[in-house]
Amino acid sequence: MRDDKFCNSNCPFTRAIGTIGNKWKPIIINVMGTRTIRFGQLDAIVPHISRKVLTEQLKELEQDGILERLAYKELPPRVEYRLSERGLAFLPILESIKEWQAKFEIFSPVEHN
Amino acid sequence: MRDDKFCNSNCPFTRAIGTIGNKWKPIIINVMGTRTIRFGQLDAIVPHISRKVLTEQLKELEQDGILERLAYKELPPRVEYRLSERGLAFLPILESIKEWQAKFEIFSPVEHN
DNA sequence: TATTCTGGTTACTAACAGGTAACTACAAAA
DNA sequence: TTTTGTAGTTACCTGTTAGTAACCAGAATA
């Protein structure tokens, strides 16, 4: 899933893209926002993601220090996720992407004839 | 390459991620910057990209109105690419990603023993 | 005459991503 | 006793992505 060529690049920007440059991670970070959220909630809220892929993405985000995982030793298990300082610092970037999209999106709805 | 689920989402943010949320596009946009650049130069400067993938990515970026393609009817052919207004407006976002990376990157160089 | 130049395209193949379904633990509730 | 609930993991299979090498036009150069 993660590309070693990117993550081990000597260019910091390339490493950054290796960390957050795929389609799921910005979506997950955006959904999390400033709240603490459980695995099942993420699974329900993030559209079209499978549990397997969600697990993988969360694991990588944790490894990259973008979120924190809090597992409570209960049964049934309870696991909470929340953004780290690094993850929270990424939220304004997502906001500017939203502004960019709103400002420049080309509206060309797909017609099905 | 492009994910229809993302591009046809009713969420603008999801559509934005569908447009620029992969590993090559931010790299290409960053390399282009404010200059006009030829296909061969991009191929030489962007590390590890194949001509095939570069062609595909450039085509999608053009379709999404992020860059402009200027083909001169010469032989041998000459094709120049440059960012559109929309593409140029994305550059500050890439700059803030660089700052974010510089501020928060965890240094854990891979050791090969 | 053969080679070089550019910006691709095409066919083939290898690698990877992602989906589905089944399975786990164990407690509480029905 | 069976079901429910959570947060995964695993095996299996398919579909997509990416890499490689060969090929193209057609003028200029050697």
Domain ranges (residues) in chain A: 23-95
Q: Which of A101, A107, A111, A112 to mutate to test the interface with B (most CBs of B within 10 A)?
A: A101
What local confidence, expressed as pLDDT, does residue A113 receive? 35
Query: How many helices (H) and strands (E) are present in chain A, helices listed first?
Result: 6, 3
Q: Which two tokens stand for residue A73?
A: 């030793």
Across the A:B interface, residue pairs with CB atoms under 8 Å apart total: 104
| A42/A49 Cα distance (integer angstroms) | 9
Low-confidence ranges of chain A (pLDDT < 70): 1, 107-113
Beta strands in A1-113 (DSSP E): 37-38, 67-72, 78-83
Contact call for residues B85 and B79 (beta carbons, < 8 A): no
User: How many angstroms is C1' of D14 away from CA of B76?
Assistant: 42
| A104/B55 Cα distance (integer angstroms) | 23
Residue B13 confidence class, pLDDT cut points 50, 70, 90: very high
B67: three-class secondary structure by DSSP: strand
Residue B109 confidence class, pLDDT cut points 50, 70, 90: very low
Among the CATH numbers 1.10.10.10, 3.40.50.1470, 3.40.50.300, 1.10.287.1080, which is that of A23-95?
Answer: 1.10.10.10
Residue B1 confidence class, pLDDT cut points 50, 70, 90: low
For residue A90, what are the contacts with CB-CB under 8 A and spacing of at least 6? Answer: A20, A29, A66, A83, B100
How large is the average pLDDT for residues B50-71? Answer: 95
CATH code, B7-97: 1.10.10.10
Q: Over pLDDT 70: what percentage of chain B?
A: 93
Measured CA to C1', the nucleotide nearest B3 is D16
pLDDT above 80 for B61 = yes
pLDDT above 50 for B88 = yes
What local confidence, expressed as pLDDT, does residue A74 receive? 83
Q: Which two tokens stand for residue A3?
A: 């590309």
- Which residues of chain B have a CB within 8 Å of the CB of A65? 104, 106
By Cβ distance, the residue of B22, B48, B93 closest to A96 is B93
Q: Is the CB of B43 under 7 A from strand D?
A: no
Residues 83-112 of A, Cβ under 7 A from nucleic strand D: none
What local confidence, expressed as pLDDT, does residue A112 receive? 35
